[in-house]
Structures are given as C-alpha cells and as structure tokens.
C-alpha cells in the first residue's frame, strides 16, 4: 500500500501532534487547521488522529495500488490524472494514477487523507513534521514512498463540501496579561484592521497594521504558551500561536483565540485583513 512522491512541494505529514511533551520544550505540532484535519479523517473512515498530508501546493503523488483519497481545507486546484478532484468527496484512485495538488486557491493549506491513514516510524508518538524543533519523522522528497495502513471502514462523501469558515470577527478571550492593558489599548486591539503578515507560518501568524501603537510593557519571565495565544510585541504587532509554537515565551499574552478561530485565522492568506473583538 504505497504512494510515490513525484513532487513534494510545500507538503508535510501531519497527525494530531505531540501532546504530553510540552513540559520538555517539545512543541505540540500536528495539523494547523484541526477542523479540516478531523473532517478529512472522518470522511476517509480513519481514526480521528490518523496521519495525512498537509499541503500548500506543488504536490504530485503516484498511486501504486488502489486507494481512496479525500481532500479538505482550503479550496485547491487538484486533479487525478487530468480529472478535477472534488473537495470532501471520497475518490477512488487507481494504480498508476497521479494525484496533483497544484496550488491552494483561497486559503493556506489543504488536507489530503487516504483511507487507512499514512503510516511510518513515529518520533515521540507522532508522525508530525515540527518546523520549529525540526522533528521530522518522514521527510518528503521526490521519490520517497508513503506507506498506508489497511482500510477497515468505509469512506464517505459530502454532497456540499465544507470549506474553512471565515468569520467577520474573531473572538478574543482574555489572556493572562489582559489586565495589563488599559481600556484604550483593549479598544485599540478590537478596532484595528489587522493584516496577516507575509512571514506567518506553522509556528504563528503575525498580525500587523497601518496604525501600530508601541507599548512599554516590562520584559516578562518565560511563561508557557498555548495554541491560539495572542502575544503583544513592543512594536504593537500581535503574534498568534499556531501548531508549531514554542512552548514558552516572554511577551505579554493579552488574549487567546478559541480553537475554531485559530483554524479560521490559519487559513487566511497573507496580506488579507482580520478583525478581532473581545
């Protein structure tokens, strides 16, 4: 049960990550958009945390056996041979067929699950590629093989695909340093038109603005960070922690985004805007 990578593009293997190791400095890692990840496994008939591919495009795979594939997450320009591959549809791929995910059309990443799940030698109980720690159990390069597990349940399709949600406003829950903010600063965070910075990645999303306000918060002792933690930097920018975030940090954590809102933010292309609110 294998697939051969013809072109890896911007692709990593991801499962639900490495819970339980953060106290040793190991990032949680795992799929960035958890909602899309869980949906892909559900449709593929897999265990909820089964490993799959997370890609931002440039991926080409050749099947050596018959396999069922499901794509979720950002809308993509995807094909099996020359036939468009629809989202949220369990699609049979025949031996010799090529799956291509050329690019994401609206969003940042899509999830490519195979019935049976991606198998391999885990590191710290996970197959996830961690971009911060460089824990990379399965490097993907042209020519490498992906092994699949045995499918023991049936895959299903959705009549109408679920695309990543994009709310007009993401909700900030108070973080541990919320009380450091003045009422004006709180108001400011909720009225800025935040812009997703180009250098956002699996570690975090940097939010900048045309009207940043510097602040003079004292340097903090290192405190544990969580996915969705919103750090306020001295320049007034925000950094929102994603899957590969460091386990501790020293900037004030003024707010926290709930899990679904982290998924939403993580799928927004750079240079687009986002509004936050308390």
Partner 1 sequence: MQCEQRVPMPGLCRVPGDLVAANDSSPRVIAYGPEATMVDGLVAGEAAVVRTAILHTCAEQHVSINDVVAGARSVVITHPRDNAEVVRALLSSIEVSDAVEISPVVAPSVTLAVDYSGPDLDYVAQQCGLTSQEVVTLHSGAKYVVEFCGFSPGFAYLTGLPAVLHLPRRATPRPRVPRGAVAIAAQYSAVYPRESPGGWHLLGVTDHQLWNMTRDQPATLTPGTMVSFEQIT
Nearer to partner 1, 40 or 135 (CB): 135
Nearer to partner 1, 20 or 277 (CB): 20
Closest distance to partner 1 from the beta carbon of 263 (Å): 13
User: 241, 259 in Cβ contact below 8 A?
Assistant: no
Nearer to partner 1, 101 or 254 (CB): 254
CB atoms within 10 A of CB 84: 10
Task: Tell me, rounded to whole angstroms, the distance of Cα 121 from its chain centroid.
Answer: 22
Nearer to partner 1, 51 or 256 (CB): 256
Backbone φ and ψ for 234, nearest 5 degrees, come out as -60, -30
Nearer to partner 1, 94 or 165 (CB): 165
Closest distance to partner 1 from the beta carbon of 167 (Å): 16
Closest distance to partner 1 from the beta carbon of 117 (Å): 22
Closest distance to partner 1 from the beta carbon of 114 (Å): 26
Backbone φ and ψ for 36, nearest 5 degrees, come out as -65, -35
Which 8-state DSSP code applies to residue 248?
E
Pairwise CA distance, residues 202 & 222, whole Å: 21
Interaction site with partner 1 (CB under 8 A): 19-26, 28, 123-124, 133, 135, 173-176, 221-224, 226, 228-229, 246-248, 253, 255-259
Pairwise CA distance, residues 218 & 106, whole Å: 39
User: 119, 88 in Cβ contact below 8 A?
Assistant: no
Closest distance to partner 1 from the beta carbon of 127 (Å): 13
Using alpha carbons, list the distances in angstroms from residue 275 to 183, 189, 218, 220: 18, 9, 27, 27
């Amino acid at each position: 049960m294998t697939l051969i990578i013809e072109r890896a593009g911007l692709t990593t293997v991801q499962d639900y990550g490495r819970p339980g190791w953060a106290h040793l400095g190991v990032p949680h890692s795992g799929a960035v958009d958890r909602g899309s990840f869980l949906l892909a496994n559900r449709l593929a008939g897999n265990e909820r945390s089964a490993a799959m591919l997370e890609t931002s495009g440039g991926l080409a795979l050749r099947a050596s056996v018959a396999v069922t594939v499901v794509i979720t997450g950002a809308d993509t320009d995807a094909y099996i041979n020359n036939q468009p591959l629809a989202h949220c549809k369990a699609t049979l791929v025949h031996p010799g067929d090529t799956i291509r995910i050329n690019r994401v059309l609206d969003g940042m990443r899509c999830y490519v699950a195979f019935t049976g799940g991606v198998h391999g030698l885990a590191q710290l109980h996970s197959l996830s590629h961690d971009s911060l720690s460089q824990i990379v159990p399965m490097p993907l390069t042209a020519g490498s093989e992906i092994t699949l597990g045995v499918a023991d349940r049936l895959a299903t399709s959705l009549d109408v695909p679920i695309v990543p949600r994009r709310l007009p406003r993401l909700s900030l829950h108070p973080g541990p340093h919320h009380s450091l903010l003045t009422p004006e600063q709180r108001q400011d965070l909720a009225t800025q038109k935040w812009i997703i910075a180009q250098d956002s990645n699996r570690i975090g999303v940097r939010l900048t603005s045309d009207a940043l306000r510097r602040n003079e918060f004292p340097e903090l002792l290192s405190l544990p960070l969580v996915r969705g933690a919103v750090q306020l930097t001295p320049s007034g920018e925000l950094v929102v922690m994603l899957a590969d975030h460091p386990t501790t940090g020293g900037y004030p954590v003024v707010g926290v985004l709930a899990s679904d809102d982290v998924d939403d933010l993580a799928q927004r292309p750079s240079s687009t805007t986002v509004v936050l609110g308390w």
